[in-house]
C-alpha cells in the first residue's frame, strides 16, 4: 500500500519560513519523481516544484528564488523549504509521487498572514 504523509504546515506571518516534509512508503522512492502541488480556495491545484530521480529541481515562476525542493532517498522523504512566504502562498500543499501511477498525500495547510 502506497502512502505519502506530509507534515510541516502551519500558520506564519509574511516573510517567515516553513519546511514541508513528505515521507513515502510502498514505492521505490529513489525511482520516483516527486512533486509539491498546492491548491488555494476557489483555485485549481497547481504545480509548485518538482524533483526528478537525479535530483534536478524545477519550480513554478511564482516561487523561484524563495522555495527549494530537495530529496533524501535514504529517508524516503522529499522536502520543500519555503522562505519569504507571502499571503498568496496560502494553500493546502500536496505531495505527489509519479511511480507507475500517480499518488497523492492528504495535504498540509499553509497559512500566511499579512
| pLDDT given for residue 28 in this prediction | 95
Least confident of 62-66, 72-76, 97-101, 106-110: 97-101
| CA-based radius of gyration for the chain | 13
| pLDDT given for residue 99 in this prediction | 85
Q: Which three cell numbers stand for residue 109?
A: 495547510
| pLDDT at 2 exceeding the cut of 90 | yes
| pLDDT given for residue 8 in this prediction | 97
Contacts of 76 (CB under 8 A, 6+ apart): 23, 24, 25, 29
| pLDDT given for residue 14 in this prediction | 98
Could you read off the pLDDT of 15-68 as tens digits, one per residue? 999 999 999 999 999 999 999 999 999 999 999 999 999 999 999 999 999 999
| pLDDT given for residue 73 in this prediction | 97
Cα separation, 16 vs 49, whole angstroms: 19
| pLDDT at 4 exceeding the cut of 90 | yes
Cα separation, 58 vs 69, whole angstroms: 8
| pLDDT given for residue 100 in this prediction | 87
C-alpha angle with apex 33: 30 to 39, nearest 5 degrees? 135
Could you read off the pLDDT of 78-101 as tens digits, one per residue? 999 999 999 999 999 999 999 889
Amino acid at each position: 500500500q502506497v502512502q505519502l504523509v506530509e507534515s510541516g504546515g502551519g500558520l506564519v506571518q509574511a516573510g517567515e519560513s516553513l519546511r514541508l516534509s513528505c515521507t513515502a512508503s510502498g514505492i521505490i522512492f529513489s525511482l520516483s519523481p516527486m512533486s509539491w502541488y498546492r491548491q488555494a480556495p476557489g483555485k485549481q491545484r497547481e504545480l509548485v516544484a518538482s524533483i526528478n530521480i537525479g535530483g534536478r529541481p524545477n519550480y513554478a515562476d511564482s516561487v523561484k528564488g524563495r522555495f527549494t525542493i530537495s530529496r533524501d532517498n535514504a529517508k524516503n522523504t522529499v522536502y520543500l523549504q519555503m522562505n519569504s512566504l507571502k499571503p498568496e502562498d496560502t494553500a493546502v500543499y500536496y505531495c505527489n509521487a509519479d511511480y507507475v501511477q500517480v499518488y497523492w498525500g492528504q495535504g498540509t495547510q499553509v497559512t500566511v498572514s499579512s
